[in-house]
Structure 1
Amino acid sequence: MARLVRWTALTAAAALLTAGCGSGSSGADKDDEPPASQTLDWGRCEGTADAPAPGGDWQCATLRAPLDWAEPDGETIDLALVRARATGDERIGSLLFNFGGPGASGVSTMPSYGDTVSSLRERYDLVSWDPRGVASSEGIRCRDDEAIEDAESVDSTPDTAAEEQAYLKDAADFGEGCAKAAGKLMEHVSTTDAARDMDLMRDVLGDEKMHYFGISYGTELGGVYAHLFPKRVGRVVLDAVVDPAADTMGHAENQARGFQRALDDYLESTGQDPERGSQEIVDLLQRLDAKPLPTSTPGRELTQTLALTGIVLPLYSKDGWPALTSALEAAEEGDGSELLALADGYNERDSAGHYGTTTHAQRVISCLDDKQRPTVAETKKLLPTFERVSPVFGAFLGWDTAGWCHDWPVAGQRETPEVSAPGAAPILVVGNTGDPATPYEGAREMADELGKDVGVVLTWKGEGHGAYGSGSACVDSAVDGYLLKGMVPQDGTLCS
């Protein structure tokens, strides 16, 4: 199972529809100027078989960036950008979007998100990009489709020594494949590298200040940028906030709590007792661990891991809850087809058996960022805690800490990201109390670490991953007022 951390709301929602149901973050170089400017050649977006060219007036271009920011005049890499020009006469500048992951493609996501942020286009060019190692920006594929499908049979919560060995071997093999595919890029896809790329974009786009909208992992990236370049912070929104104070184990525990909280809310909405409903799901998963369910797809079964993945996906949006109900009912009746379809949506598997690579880039980036490499012994010691926090998701997320970066070929850079940004302009931090993937508590942590008079928290009592564009007129109005008119909400503003 791919790590649940840092998926964007938009990526998850799109998957649900498909399913049919440098250096560490030191502030020492905060005022470094980017390399000599360049001119972007904007033109028609070409598109690929996996990501067709967007219609309308979207344009694409290629930005040249240093491979190694420690050698800004050395070898370069190409970064793919997409934009739509501002429609109004009172243009502020460019508004840069990152949709999270890490590993989400901004080039393919931005056009589909355009309607959601159409009001912002009145005064901003809407701009996004594929970060280094992602999709069209020298995207990294660690495994072919056949190997990915074969790995789905690996038990993500091993119960025996043989299953543990298979789990860790699979993790090590994945890292080896990433290193072979990425080459020199493997050591230069960190969040700090991406933040420096952003500042280069700001300069090349002709903006004095960085105006930015970060979602999910994009909030961590935004915080790192603010730390590195506090004087260049313009109007910045961070929505679905990653807790910057949490290390690898902390993130996993936060997510176990967040997904269990979302599942409890879902169960209550269907008239079920959350404790009893969760136990029924645990019982289903245990039965699948012993014997997978048949599906309508020839040659494929619903395993315990695929079932858990299928349960996760519809929790990213309240709109997915009916699909979860239907899939669970079908599974209880002996048909795993619907949960398998949801899992395939999360895993970016199409009907032809082709898998996307978001989780490949996600793993390469996060394992370069994160220094911690929890051992099996450390994980086993903490499993009871994870399972108390979440009887459904705890064991999966606990084991994930041991397998995610196991025997990784490149060392991690830091324990937690540095996001303090003294002297920066106010940054709007948006938290959703029902967010499963980035629990609400992270918003307050981010605001506190950004610093006094910098982090401003806006809270929505809602459900799903992210708040803006999710149905709250209060949230949308506050964010629009901030980005379009510079109106900073009062810290602690509550939208119910």
Structure 2
Amino acid sequence: MNGRSPLVVLGALGGTALFLTALPACTASDTASKEERPELARFYQQKLTWSGCEGDDRLEGMECAKLTVPVDYTDPKSGTIAVAVGRYRSTAGPNAAAAPSGSAPPSGSTARIGSLVFNFGGPGMSGLTGLADAREDYRALRAHYDLVSFDPRGVGRSAPVKCGTALDGGEDDTDQGDELPTDAAGRAALVKELTSIAAQCAAGTGKVLPFVGTVNTSRDMDVLRQALGDDKLHYFGTSYGTRLGAVYAKQFPDRAGRLALDAVDTLTENSRASALTQARAFQKALESFVDDCAGQGEKCPIGATEAAAVRTVDETVARITEAPVESADGSPFTVRDLRTAISNSLYSAELHPTLAEGIARLHDSEDPAVLVEINRAFAGEDEEGNRDEADNSDEAILAINCADDPDRPADPAAEIASLEEEFTEASSVFGTEMAREAVSCTGWPAGSDYIRKIEDTGGPKVLLIGTKGDPATPYQWTGETAKRLGNAVVLTYEGEGHGAYSASTCVRAKTDAYLIEGKLPADGTSCPAEAPEADARDADDAG
């Protein structure tokens, strides 16, 4: 799957029986009926009550509401949960003339189209926080839409998955924590560890856990569409959000409006296959970063030639593997931290100069400060290392990915034994970390197979945006998903990084034209790579 599963340590609970009792196999209704069942009417008839968002300064200026949805769509009387929803009203204003239903506003018009619902990925990322952080990127769209997002079920403020301390790094959280065991005893211990984590998640989350997953979240999104007063869902999904968008397109083809999916996730690969694909893609992205830096000659902090830059990276990884260094707060900076900083930075070409500086400082003076700050920023931590209390992204990514994956190895220990050579060959830097992702669902019941069966969705055409150098959702997944959907138009960005809308003015213009005016680019349209804004400013200054 597109998000990295958390690296895990042995939890306190153990035993498969406890987990399988608490978390039965997925029983969610996979396909929405053409006419909603009468027992769902109360959910579809609800009205949202908007007010200011309380308890989080980052949400200042956003309006918040709660959407009530059933825990189990096959048995709506069994209980409900509240889904946290946030919006920024369209700058067109509440009294702006609305575009006719199903039509695009004229070019240059200020007509309000409706709501545009976002999912920013993960899975497990808070939609409210994501929207607050990214709203400036969508100013052109806000002129025609209310910008809306939500914390999906199991995430953040919406019946969050809770795993206790199962995913926390403890005192033994060393640099060797993500290495694969090399003997039978070690593999048996890892199987017990992973099963224990699954049990803790079941015990901590309760009855909601079997119904956390994309199939049910898509149904929640349709209830949200109705509560927003829209006949059609207009949607922008990034990364994991493309998986959610694809499921919606299949479940509700008659209710799908304009769907834009950027950084396209796989619909077909299981945990092992997707982790292996990502390992290769991250390795390729790292090599591209090294080549680009070395191409700057003496300006490259890690080496003026490709050979020198490669040597700096390899030596740094080897040294930190052998002996972690001390961070400013006295905590160890391990090879796991180094890998995380590198992979985080490969998500955006804008971070490449910072990554080069961080590796050089670590290599030359054993100073990890720059890399520590990269990791803190990605984790949403403050200077003391504290995270948002509502952030359960580590738990949610594990639960949702496992709910969406029907495959489980018959012999987990044997599966672990088969991983190391293949993954290390795929990536000398990221291979072992990705290999642990491949078995992260050990101990969890088999998930839904609905996503694997998506094919020929019908409905309106969907815009898929793929980036050639994307390490997290490799470009090949864009073409594969287009074939599965059967009604997709592919827009390619020739650059690097994860997600193209914020990286490319060309992609942004074509996506906005589709979402605002309904004008799709020709299938196969390509946008050239663009220098990050900071690089472009530096070039202008030099000129």
Q: Please give the range of the TM-score, normalised by the shorter of the 2 chains.
A: 0.7 to 0.9
Report the counterpart of residue 67 of structure 1 in structure 2. 71
Contact 1:244–1:419 (Cα < 8 Å) also in 2: yes
C-alpha displacement at 1:149, in angstroms?
A: 4.5
2:411 aligned with 1:406 = no
From 139, 147, 160, give the equivalent of 2:160.
139
Q: 1:165 to 1:351 in 2, by over 3 A?
A: farther
Q: Paired residue for 2:60?
A: 55
- Of 41, 51, 69, 1:35 maps to 41
Q: Deviations over 1:328-359 (max 9, x none)?
A: 11222323343344334444443334344211
Q: Distance in 2 between matches of 1:197 and 1:358?
A: 19
**Could you state the TM-score of these two structures normalised by the residue count of structure 1?**
0.88
> Which ranges in structure 1 are unaligned for 5 or more consecutive residues?
7-21
1:9-408 alignment runs, 5 A limit: 23=27, 26-27=30-31, 29=33, 32=36, 35-36=41-42, 37-48=45-56, 52-56=57-61, 58-88=62-92, 89=96, 90-144=111-165, 147-150=168-171, 152-153=173-174, 155-161=177-183, 164=187, 167-271=190-294, 277=309, 281-298=313-330, 300-333=331-364, 334-355=366-387, 356-374=391-409, 375-402=412-439, 404-408=440-444
Q: Output the CA distance in 2 between the equivalents of 1:172 and 1:349.
A: 28
Q: Select the residue among 456, 459, 464 that pairs with 2:489.
A: 456
Is the aligned partner of 1:443 residue 2:478? yes
Shift in alpha-carbon separation, 1:416–1:79, aligned structure 2, 3 A = closer
CA change 1:421–1:457 in 2 (3 A) is: same
Q: CA deviation at 1:3?
A: 5.7
1:303/1:94 CA distance change after superposition, 3 Å: same
Residues 102-111 or 139-148, more deviating = 139-148
1:492 to 513, 524, 534: 524
What is the CA distance between 1:444 and its match in structure 2? Answer: 1.0
Alpha-carbon distance in structure 2 between the residues aligned to 1:464 and 1:215: 13
Contact 1:66 1:77 in 2 (8 A): yes
Check 1:235–1:207 CA distance in 2 against 1; reply closer, same or farther (3 A cut). Answer: same
- Aligned equivalents of 1:489, 1:358: Cα separation in 2: 34
> Could you give the per-residue CA deviations for residues 432-482 of structure 1, whole angstroms, max 9, x where no partner exists?
11111001111111111101xx11100011111101121x22111110110
Number of paired residues? 470
Provide Cα deviations, 1:64-99, integer angstroms capped at 9, x if missing partner.
000111112431000000011222231111110001
Q: Is the 8 A contact 1:60 1:80 kept in 2?
A: yes
Report how far residue 306 of structure 1 moved: 1.8
Q: Within 1, Cα distance between the matches of 2:357 and 2:413?
A: 36
For the 8 Å contact 1:247–1:416, the answer to whether it is kept is no
Is this contact kept in 1: 2:376–2:385, CA < 8 A?
Answer: no
The amino acid of 2:273's aligned partner reads G
Give the secondary structure class of the aligned counterpart of 1:235.
Answer: strand
> Structure 1 CA distance, aligned partners of 2:115 and 2:242?
18
Asked if structure 1 preserves the Cα contact closer than 8 Å seen for 2:3 and 2:472, the reply is no
Aligned-pair identity in percent equals 36
CA RMSD of aligned residues (A): 2.6
1:231 is paired with a residue whose SS is: coil
Deviation at 1:294, TM superposition (A): 2.1
Q: Secondary structure at the match of 1:254?
A: helix
Alpha-carbon separation, structure 2, partners of 1:200 and 1:28: 11
Q: Secondary structure at the match of 1:208?
A: coil
Among 462, 467, 470, the alignment partner of 2:500 is 467
* Cα gap change, 1:332 to 1:417, in 2 (>3 Å): same
The aligned amino acid for 1:54 is L
Closer, same or farther: CA 364–278 of 1 in aligned 2, 3 Å: farther
Whole-angstrom CA distance in 2 between matches of 1:233 and 1:415: 18
CA distance in 1, matches of 2:239, 2:333: 29
Question: Against the structure 1 CA distance between its residues 159 and 183, is the aligned structure 2 distance closer, same or farther, given a 3 Å change threshold?
Answer: closer
Contact conserved, 2:232 with 2:255, CA < 8 A, in 1? yes
Q: How far off its partner does 1:152 sit?
A: 3.4
How far did 1:366 drift? 1.1
2:245 alignment partner AA: G
Query: In the aligned structure 2, how far is the partner of 1:188 from the partner of 1:275?
Result: 51
What is the CA distance between 1:229 and its match in structure 2? 0.8
Residue of structure 1 equivalent to 2:531: none
Report if the CA contact (8 A) 1:192-1:224 is conserved.
Answer: yes
Query: More deviation in 306-315 or 285-294?
Result: 285-294
Query: What TM-score comes out, normalization by structure 2 length?
Result: 0.80
Q: Do 1:152 and 1:305's aligned partners in 2 also have CA atoms closer than 8 Å?
A: no
1:167, distance to aligned residue in structure 2 (A): 4.3
Pair 399,112 (structure 1): closer, same or farther in 2 beyond 3 Å? closer
Distance 1:220 1:493 in 2: 22
Distance in structure 1 (CA, Å) of the matches to 2:172 and 2:399: 18
CA separation of 1:103/1:431 partners in 2, compared to 1, >3 Å: closer, same or farther? same
